[in-house]
Structure 1
Amino acid sequence: MKKLVNNTFALTISAICLLSTSLSVTAAPNKVDILISPSGSGPYLAWATMQNYASDYTDKIAPTAVETPGFTYNVRYLASSPQLWKNTIIGSGQVVEWAAKKGISPFFPKPMEAVNDFRALGVMSRTSNMFVTLDPSIKSKDDFIGKRVAVGLLSQNEWGMHQRMMLDGWGITKKLKSFDALGPAQNINAILDGKADIGTLVTHSNRDFSVTLQAGPFKTLESSGRDYTFIDIDKEDIQSYIDKTGAPFSIQVLPANTVANQPKPVTSFGNYTLLSVHKSFPEEDAYEMTKLWLQSGIELGKYSAVAKIWDKQTLATIAKIGLENIHPGALRAYKELGLID
């Protein structure tokens, strides 16, 4: 009988110890993937930096940067993968989501209904997509006819998709000598090697354009020592495309000397890049992810060039696009910080 009592007492003590231990263990952060862009690109490096430093700011969410071919790919992949909707975030953009909803070929052969259920966590940047040339006789889009045009990949909305959409809309694509989607670095190498007449470059800026980032291909062009010029696109030509299609492009005017070798203002087109999720993405995870981004964004600029433009006002620009497009969890984070009424 005494042995039974002692055994019962020992089991009780063990149970209490186990319970105490389990209560003292902190719950592991929720892991989420961020499908972003090619390895080595600015956005990918920025989110890889976030991945490394997230634990300094929160124990609730753990983002992992995932290399992909680009934002156009991201939208198509998430829309067709319901199994990812509750744990995956993507790099995206206004225009690419619009194109997916409409079924704009060759990027989206048919409308992708699931994209109507995408919701944004915030704005990553304002972009400017600029055509560039070594040929001083090419001054406007009308001079593209009969020329060789090289751009980034068509799976990249800023480097290839936007440019192709505009050229198609203006009726110029079929009048080119050639159109090649080579890649961000490769398209600049093509004009330097004399294999293309016109290339493309992309800038990322914060909300008020007080900080503008130049991607690696800018440096390649600048270090070549060659004379190059950015091609002005008439505002009316951009606006006519917007009016005809409804695409949410914006007309971007970069003030003189915003980027290297730019002695005068350059007019071009762009949009807001986004961090997006499906509406079924858990509200608490959306809240924690957005709060992490808002709290750490500009601080990560010490380690990542792209993060230098992640100030709170830039991220909250999502409100200008429409509150109905914001995930409820993200909206809660913005309201807590007084960034959105």
Structure 2
Amino acid sequence: MKKFIKNTLALSISAICLLSTSFSAAADPKKVDILISPSGSGPYLAWATMQNYASDYTDKIAPVAVETPGFTYNVRYLASSPHLWENTIIGSGEVVEWAAKEGIAPFFPKPMEAVKDFRALGVMSRTSNMFVTLDPSIKSKDDFVGKRVAVGLLTQNEWGMHQRMMLDGWGMTKKLKSFDALGPAQNINALLDNKADIGTLATHSNHDFSFTLQAGAFKTLESSGRDYAFIDIDKADIQSYIDKTGAPFSIQVLPANTVAHQPEPVTSFGNYTLLTVHKSFPEEDAYEMTKLWLKSGIELGKYSAIAKIWDKETISTVAKIGKENIHPGALRAYKEFGLID
């Protein structure tokens, strides 16, 4: 009898432990990697902040920010890694995904078919890519001939890839004295050290440009005390590239004083940065992730500068432009929030 009671008690305890473990596992949020950008960059810091505060808004999903060389790298890596398609999100952009599908060298030597199956969850920002100089004689792209141009990394679409695409498209790259892809901070340091004549800067804005975030490289340039100027790019030169290639660049006109040391409006090019998944990414996970983003969004601006542009209108921008390239799970969240019909 004692043996029976002992065995029964042991079985009961085991059952309770198993039940407890089952409930615990069910309560754990699903971890999802978000491949973003270099450590210290605005997008990476924003998603690292989301990682820390996500549990305040949901118990369904737990995003994990992962450092990468940049969005160009992310697109190439996800497209060539089928084992990641059901559990990975990437930081991306309209132009870089277009370039991958088209096979635009040197970034994508041949078209990546898998990118046709990418679907957006939402918009992280609207960007502007601007050339900057200390040389007052450089006023337009035609003055780039024979000059030394420094940009960010070519694995970073906003800091290096876009600029190289435009220079190639204008037939300007071969006319330069040099072209060096150094990095966001390093290209501005080269400019200040007289190792480059032209550098580049990138901004992130919300949907209507009422809030614009300046990267740390802006502060480096501003604090130098040097007299610098942004190079205005003729709208026709940007439009000619768009018409010739079909690239989804947008022409950005920043009103005067949008960024430091900018007394006049500046015309440049940019696009929408995206949070992207493969179409095989589970619908429920896409729904929960988008819902988390919409719920926490701008609230995270208390802790991360770039999150200040994550208002619901900005996040849902591409869904309002066209639903065909939006993940069904994200569309479900937008409809629930009343952002689309």
- Alpha carbons 2:320, 2:340 under 8 Å: kept: no
Which AA in structure 2 matches 1:159? W
Which AA in structure 1 matches 2:286? A
| 1:282-327 deviation line (CA, Å, top 9, x unaligned) | 1111111111111011010000000000000000002244201111
Residues 35 and 12 from structure 1, CA distance in 2 versus in 1: closer, same or farther, beyond 3 angstroms?
closer
Partner residue, 1:82: 82
- Alpha carbons 2:135, 2:228 under 8 Å: kept: yes
Partner residue, 1:258: 258
- Structure 1 position 229 matched with structure 2 position 232: no
CA distance in 2, matches of 1:5, 1:192: 83
CA distance in 2, matches of 1:320, 1:3: 71
| 1:35-73 deviation line (CA, Å, top 9, x unaligned) | 000000010000000011111111111111010000000
Partner residue, 1:21: 20
Partner residue, 1:214: 214
2:130 aligned counterpart, secondary structure: strand
- Structure 1 position 93 matched with structure 2 position 93: yes
CA distance in 1, matches of 2:8, 2:276: 55
1:323 aligned counterpart, secondary structure: coil
Residues 136 and 21 from structure 1, CA distance in 2 versus in 1: closer, same or farther, beyond 3 angstroms?
same
> Higher mean Cα deviation, 58-67 or 103-112?
58-67
CA distance in 2, matches of 1:267, 1:153: 22
CA distance in 1, matches of 2:267, 2:7: 82
| 1:137-157 deviation line (CA, Å, top 9, x unaligned) | 110000101111100000000
Partner residue, 2:154: 154
- TM-score of the pair, normalised by structure 1: 0.96
1:324 aligned counterpart, secondary structure: coil
- Structure 1 position 141 matched with structure 2 position 160: no
Shift of 1:28: 1.3
Shift of 1:27: 2.5
RMSD over aligned CA atoms reads 1.4
Partner residue, 1:110: 110
- TM-score of the pair, normalised by structure 2: 0.96
Partner residue, 2:184: 184
CA distance in 2, matches of 1:17, 1:209: 56
2:269 aligned counterpart, secondary structure: strand
Shift of 1:21: 3.0
Shift of 1:14: 4.0
Partner residue, 2:37: 37
Partner residue, 1:317: 317
Which AA in structure 2 matches 1:207? H
Unaligned runs of 5+ in 2: none
- Alpha carbons 2:319, 2:331 under 8 Å: kept: no
Shift of 1:216: 0.4
> Higher mean Cα deviation, 115-124 or 6-15?
6-15
1:137 aligned counterpart, secondary structure: coil
Which AA in structure 2 matches 1:314? T
Partner residue, 2:204: 204
Aligned residues: 340
1:165 aligned counterpart, secondary structure: helix
| 1:57-93 deviation line (CA, Å, top 9, x unaligned) | 1111111101000000000000001111111100000
Amino-acid identity (%): 84
| Runs ≥4 residues deviating over 2 A | 2-27
Which AA in structure 2 matches 1:85? W
> Higher mean Cα deviation, 183-192 or 2-11?
2-11
Partner residue, 1:333: 333
- Alpha carbons 2:214, 2:259 under 8 Å: kept: yes
Which AA in structure 1 matches 2:20? T
Shift of 1:18: 4.3
